[in-house]
Every structure is written in C-alpha cells, then in structure tokens.
Amino acid sequence: MNTKTAKRKNLSRLAIWTMAWTLSTALATFGSLFLWEGNKVLTALSILLNVGIGVGMVLANRQFLEDSDELEKKVQLEAMALTLGLTLIVGIAYSIMDSTNLIPWDAEISFLVIFMGLFYMVALVFNRKRYL
C-alpha cells in the first residue's frame, strides 16, 4: 500500500471513530434526559460506551500519526504540543476567573473543548503554511 492510500485509509478510520465518539457523547448527554429519563444503569452503560469509543478514537489517531510521513508528523505534533500547552494555560486562567467571580457565569468544560478544537485547527493551518 503506498503512502497516499495508507494516509487516506487512516484518515477515514479516524473520521469514523470521531463521528462515533461524537454520537455516543450526544447519546450519553441527551439519552438520560429524553430517552430513558434517569435510568442509572442505561446512563452508566452509555457513558461506558462513550469512553470505549473514545479510546478507539485515540488509538486511531495514534495509528494515523505512526503511519504519517515525517513532515506530517512534525506538523501534527507541533500543533498538538501548542494546543496542549495553551489549553492548560487558558483552562487554569478560566478556572481562576470563575473562582474569583471575574466572570458572571460558571466555567464550563465545553468552552475548553471548543477552544482546543479551534486552536488545533489554527495551529495546523499555520504549520502547513510554514512547512508545505
């Protein structure tokens, strides 16, 4: 299998796992509210399913990185390192803003997840422009 085909296959696999994880997150979040209304066993099972699919998604991402060529690895790993560092800094600052009542609302984890996703995309675009 050549590099392009392997990359396409790994990307498809990663996309499927990511989609499955997103759907299982929605199921775990909204299922207990609208589908089985507070049934703790089903809620626990949906969370278990969500974590299991999440692990699959992480492994698919690792496989994608392992099979990527060295420049793609560098681009991805730099973007990940920047995202991880900035998420830590922004997350702690956001938490302090909440605990000191500098912001009138509660600090939500979803804000951090959105920040991570957006920043990772920006870092990828920046790195691709830099190297490619």
Whose tokens are 């681009």? That residue is 75
Indicate the DSSP class of residue 104: S
Using CB atoms within 10 A of its CB, is residue 72 exposed (0-12), middle (13-18) or buried (19+)? Answer: middle
C-beta closer to another protein: residue 6 or 86: 6
Give every CB contact of residue 65 below 8 A, 6+ residues apart in sequence: 73, 76, 77
C-beta closer to another protein: residue 62 or 128: 128
Give the whole-angstrom CA distance, residue 42 versus residue 25.
14
Whose tokens are 């605990």? That residue is 99
C-beta closer to another protein: residue 109 or 132: 132
CB of 130 to another protein, least distance (A): 7
C-beta closer to another protein: residue 70 or 106: 70
Binding site for another protein (CB under 8 A): 2-4, 7, 69-72, 74, 130-132
CB of 70 to another protein, least distance (A): 5
CB of 81 to another protein, least distance (A): 17
